[in-house]
Structure 1
Amino acid sequence: MSKNGPLALTFHSLVVVFMLAPLVVVCLVAFTPENTLSLPTAGFSLRWFEAVFERADFLEAFNNSLQLAFLAASLATLIAVPAGLAITRLQFPGRDFLNVLFLSPIIIPHLVLGVALLRLFALLGVNGSFTWLVLAHTVVITPYVLRLVIAAAIGVDRSAEQAAESLGASRFTLFRKITLPMILPGIAGGWLLAFINSFDEVTLSIFVTSPATQTLPVKMYVYATESIDPMMAAVSALVIALTAVTMILLDRVYGLDRVLVGKH
């Protein structure tokens, strides 16, 4: 198959259409004037978007998800950066075990983690605690940050670090002025992936949230089991639009190629 031949272009176009078609359909359904999930064949309406903003419980759940994703992604980054640098640059007993331990949440099904954390929280008497919810999300999203930090650290040219060290730079100065800027794209990309995964997490969150700490995905899941009106499509369309705007702004300000690929 030629890299840029007609067959390759057709294949890639079909893949893109296959991925975007469900999102387009959901966004179209959000504008339906009907009371059921249907395409707006008779005209467009904003009634379901208005219904979303009239629901205080959905707005509260959205706010919970934003706070939770931001705190969990930031905490995961604080853990992953020193862990990633230690795994890539130091030789110590248990290094491979530490690497596997940090990556294990990717392998273990979130359903199993959710049941285990539910039992743990019950034993500790912290069910419904937002702080412990943040810690639970941190556990499952840290591997995403760690993978990108390790990839960025492996690709760093250490000659600049060695030169600064030979000139008497302290370890903190070396990290702050040389190492950190060089691995920053990996850190930013990892934080972004962690934020998205935390915001979208539903399987684990069902077990460890309470009515006061209910996240938007959990709220949507519960609502979808009780109703089939298009309000869920409107919520989904708003989340899609918010994600798209965030990605565009990030691309304009920082560059998605630097964040996700690591180009300088």
Structure 2
Amino acid sequence: MTRNGPVALLFHALVVIFMLAPLAIVCLVAFTPENTLSLPTKGFSLRWFEAVFHHPDFVQSFWNSLWLAFLAATLAVALAVPASLAITRWEFPGRGFLNALFLSPLIIPHLVLGVAMLRLFAVIGATGSFGWLVAAHIVIVTPYVMRLLIAAISGFDRSVEQAAFSLGASEATVFRRVTLPMILPGVTGGWLIAFINSFDELTMSIFITSPSTVTLPVRMYMYATESIDPMMAAVSALIIGITAVAVLLLDRVYGLDRILVGQH
């Protein structure tokens, strides 16, 4: 039997349905006119979406998460680009250690990171600071950017750079006009993945947020412990929609296949 046989296709279809069914149910529940979590059997309503936008705590938490994810993803890319170039292109003492250090947050549970960050911020007196919250998120999203950038740089044809050098271009010019454009799909894909992971982070954030820096996932968790109305489904549907639009735009601009293989 070939890999593309009917049994394999059926298996893949069931896997896709299994993964997408919970998201579809959440989105359907978000349109219910009822006061409880139920599928909209009596028509569709936008009442819970309106309730979200009229809830000041959710609106403020959304902006907190948006700025937090934007800053964390942007600074993670700024840190990961030179680090990935150094690790990929040069041999130096501690190269393996540096690579492992940048990727280590992938294997450390976020619960452990949250407790460690809470203790660290308490010692240095930075509890409740938005800037230190950004720094904590940089730690957990940088490995995702590193993996895509290392793949992009590893598949990079350096003869183009050598041609630019032979024509008299400086290192800064070559990086800005040759290297960066050719690894841009990896940079953009890494930024988007970092943004999504930072925006959705709950486990670590719940330890280090303050009343003025509560993120949207933390706000959702706090609300869910007090109420079971469909507002959580509406918020989740909005997040799913925003994420889907971002991925579709990225695919239209660069193509997800090129980003995943790290080639331009």
- TM-score, normalised to structure 1, is 0.96
Aligned residues: 264
- 2:249 maps to 1:229: no
Could you report, residue by residue, the CA deviation over 1:116-154 in whole angstroms, capped at 9, with x for unpaired residues? 100111111111111110000001100000111111111
Pairing 1:68-147 to 2, within 5 Å after superposition: 68-147=68-147
Superposition deviation, residue 9 in structure 1:
1.1
Unaligned runs of 5+ in 2: none
1:175-194 matched pairs, under 5 angstroms: 175-194=175-194
Corresponding residue of 1:243? 243
In structure 1, C-alpha distance between the alignment counterparts of 2:100 and 2:177, rounded to whole Å: 30
The equivalent of 1:160 in structure 2 is 160
Residues of 2 paired with 1:260 and 1:67: CA distance? 26
Q: CA deviation at 1:246?
A: 2.1
Q: CA contact under 8 A between 2:117 and 2:208: conserved in structure 1?
A: yes
The Cα offsets for residues 188-230 of structure 1, whole Å up to 9 and x where unpaired, read as: 1111110010000000000111111010000001111111111
Q: Percent of counterpart pairs with the same letter?
A: 75
Q: 1:263 offset after TM fit, Å?
A: 4.8
Structure-2 change in CA distance of 1:128 and 1:209 (3 Å)? same
Residue identity matched to 2:182: M
Q: What corresponds to 1:214 in structure 2?
A: 214
The CA deviation at 1:59 is 0.6
Q: Distance in 1 between matches of 2:59 and 2:237?
A: 15
Question: Are the equivalent residues in 1 in contact too, given 2:80–2:145 (CA < 8 A)?
Answer: yes
Partners of 1:99 and 1:179 in 2: how far apart?
Answer: 21
The amino acid across from 1:44 in the alignment is F
CA contact (8 A) 2:151 2:262 kept: no
Per-residue CA deviation, residues 3-40 of structure 1 (Å, 9 max, x unaligned), is 32211211111111001000000011111122211112
**8 Å CA contact 2:87, 2:99 repeated in 1:** yes
| Separation in 1, partners of 2:161, 2:253 | 28
Question: For the residues of structure 1 that align with 2:184 and 2:249, how far apart are their CA atoms?
Answer: 18
Q: Distance in 2 between matches of 1:247 and 1:64?
A: 21
> 5+ residue gaps in structure 1?
none
2:156–2:263 Cα contact (<8 Å) kept: no
| Aligned residue number for residue 54 of structure 1 | 54
Give the Cα–Cα distance (whole angstroms) in 1 for the partners of residues 79 and 250 of structure 2.
Answer: 24
Match of 1:21 in 2: 21
Instruction: After TM superposition, give the deviation of residue 67 of structure 1 in Å.
Output: 0.5
CA distance in 2, matches of 1:148, 1:262: 6
TM-score (ref. length: structure 2): 0.96
Q: Is the 8 A contact 2:149 2:183 kept in 1?
A: yes
SS in 1 for 2:143: helix
